[in-house]
Structure 1
Amino acid sequence: MRVLVAGATGAMGRQLVPRLVEAGHEVHGMTRSETKQALLRGLGAVPVVADALDREQVARAVAQSRPEVVVHQLTAIGPMDLRHFDRAFAQTNRLRTEGTDHLLSAARDVGVRRFVAQSFFAGYDRVGGAVKTEDDPFGTEPPAGMEQTVGAIRHVEDSVLAASWAQGLVLRYGGFYGPHTSLGVDGEQTEAVRRRKFPVVGDGGGVWSFVHIADAAEATVAAVEGGAPGVYNVVDDEPASVATWLPVLAASLGARPPMRVPRLVGRLLAGETGTVMMTELRGASNARAKQELGWAPRRASWRDGFRELGAMARAESGTAA
């Protein structure tokens, strides 16, 4: 099939494009930057340059590519600022609202029959059980400071699922780790853990779901090629509380155990948004993706992935295990 990947040079795009090529698809990679065309060619894609926030440029890019499938991976995530979460995600929120609308409009004009879009697990309402399925309430009660970000995620989901002219699939990815992510060898979150600037807040009872970026890319290939329209949690097999996974991550990186701070102090350090994510977040079940997409993560647990991350970090620094 002819597949257009929007956001093809991001962390996901760099994993996804070569996998689609290897699976036999003709891949067109959309990027805003002229200078990244060589990167896309190296990944095996036909470069298409367009600013996702410019409706006419997107229309031309999609018309030029004439894809059967569009994969929406548009983000512009900069340095994480939990105290001002919506401000930090402002550009990404525009890509998830305006950019989504532009892509859907252009895709409809050329007869795209399948549209796969990125979402994020952290929007589940923080009530009831610790692990959520796709049928649980999502995005109706965002934490303070995340209203715009969760609203933008809901816009992606609602718009894609409402596209009656195409099969719309939404992938609620877990927290990414691995190459070119903030939890990679030299990533922002990794460095914060090494420097003990990523504390366990309160009881650390917030439940997170992770997925290695390569496993998420493989799930996305599966969604391009099959699966019924709808929402899928793309996460590993072990949702875990912050109090459980954060000390393991620190140990894997050879760092001292994370500090523990009361919830009140956490609010001062990370704001209300960060505190809620540390203490109230709900994880996600991957049962539907396994059954309907025929996918399973190669790193079944973040424990395996964090050990791999630690080993890579030691190899790069030249330190012994």
Structure 2
Amino acid sequence: MRVLVAGGSGVLGRRLVPQLVERGHTVTATTTKAEKVAMIEAMGAEGVVMDGLDAASVGRAVASAEPEAIIHQMTAINPVHAGKPDIKHPDRWFAGTNRLRVEGTDHLLAAAQAQGVTRFLAQGYASWNGLREGGWVKTEEDPLDPFTGTATEPVMAAMKHVEDAVTGYGGTVLRYGALYGPGATDDQVEMVRRRQYPLVGRAQGYSSWIHLDDAASATVLALELGARGVYDIVDDDPAPANEWLPYLAEVAGAKPPLRVPVWIARIAAGEQAVMMMTEGRGFSNAKAKRELGWRLRYPSWRQGFAEGLS
């Protein structure tokens, strides 16, 4: 197929584009920086400069690529765009990404409709943000937590917009777990090494992880199979913070993480950090494995962390 990857120069795009090319697809990948076009071309794709927040720019890029499918991977989480991670103020940290998930999604869908593109896939999120009630592991049938009244609410509202708009178009939303792999977790690992990433309270809140290569392979399968609807793209091993964080510290060659009371964490790091560490809900990949025939290279973050950091 002729495939347009919006945001193809990002950390996930850099793993996804080569897989698409290897499978025989003709790929156009967008970037906001002209200097990254050469990197995209080195991956075997055509590089195009596009501003996802400019409807005209999006329209031109989609029209010139003449795609049969569009994959929306645009974010602005990179420190170049978003600055240092600010978990205390996710509404500020994710402000650019929120706009891309709302305005950028709408621009891409309008351009897709104008060009008659019916196959549309978009990036979602499913790591610790399941509804904070009931079991610790959720499925696609369970609602995501809107985190009403917190600084996380705008982030979740933007994600809901992606899901509603894309599925309403007849497309596919791939809810990736917490991404790790080359370039994806460097800032977190540095915080762990500096002992700036503590365990909060009992740290029994769950998270789900996914290696970049496995996220990319699931995306390729969903594209080729014409999958529709929502899929949780996570590994086999949802786990509480009191398991994955000490292990991450160990394989990163760091001292064990500190442990702080909830009230101190709420003041120092904000409500999101407390919710994630103490009440977070992970996700199941059963649907993606069953319907996509997806096989993971890294079934557990335990294997992936060790291979990537030790």
1:49 deviates by 1.5
Identity %: 53
Aligned amino acid, residue 50 of structure 2:
A
Q: Which residue in 1 is equivalent to 2:25? A: 25
Aligned amino acid, residue 4 of structure 1:
L
Aligned amino acid, residue 139 of structure 2:
T
Q: Which residue in 2 is equivalent to 1:52? A: 52
Instruction: With the length of structure 1 as denominator, give the TM-score of the two structures.
Output: 0.93
1:227 deviates by 4.8
Cα distance in 1, alignment partners of residues 36 and 148 from structure 2: 35
CA RMSD of aligned residues (A): 1.1
Aligned amino acid, residue 55 of structure 1:
A
Task: Name the SS of the counterpart of 2:280 in structure 1.
Answer: coil
Cα distance in 2, alignment partners of residues 29 and 289 from structure 1: 25
1:139 deviates by 3.8
In structure 2, do the counterparts of structure 1 residues 226 and 125 end up closer, same or farther at CA, with 3 Å as the change threshold? same
Q: Report whether the alignment pairs 1:244 with 2:247.
A: no
Cα distance in 2, alignment partners of residues 42 and 173 from structure 1: 26
Q: Report whether the alignment pairs 1:128 with 2:134.
A: yes
Counterpart pick for 1:112 among 113, 117, 120: 117
Task: Name the SS of the counterpart of 1:144 in structure 2.
Answer: coil
Task: Name the SS of the counterpart of 1:119 in structure 2.
Answer: strand
- Is contact 2:119-2:226 (8 Å) kept? no
Q: Which residue in 2 is equivalent to 1:319? A: none
- Is contact 1:139-1:151 (8 Å) kept? no
Identify unmatched segments of 5+ residues in structure 1: 312-321
Runs of 4+ in 1 over 4 A off after TM superposition: none
Cα distance in 1, alignment partners of residues 168 and 305 from structure 2: 38
Cα distance in 1, alignment partners of residues 89 and 236 from structure 2: 31
- Is contact 1:125-1:142 (8 Å) kept? no
Q: Which residue in 2 is equivalent to 1:170? A: 173
Cα distance in 2, alignment partners of residues 138 and 198 from structure 1: 25
Cα distance in 2, alignment partners of residues 61 and 132 from structure 1: 37
Aligned amino acid, residue 162 of structure 1:
G
Identify unmatched segments of 5+ residues in structure 2: none
Counterpart pick for 1:179 among 156, 162, 182: 182
Aligned amino acid, residue 142 of structure 2:
D
Q: Report whether the alignment pairs 1:73 with 2:73.
A: yes
Q: Which residue in 2 is equivalent to 1:318? A: none
Aligned amino acid, residue 126 of structure 1:
R
- Is contact 2:132-2:145 (8 Å) kept? no
Q: Report whether the alignment pairs 1:158 with 2:146.
A: no
Instruction: With the length of structure 2 as denominator, give the TM-score of the two structures.
Output: 0.96
Cα distance in 1, alignment partners of residues 51 and 305 from structure 2: 35
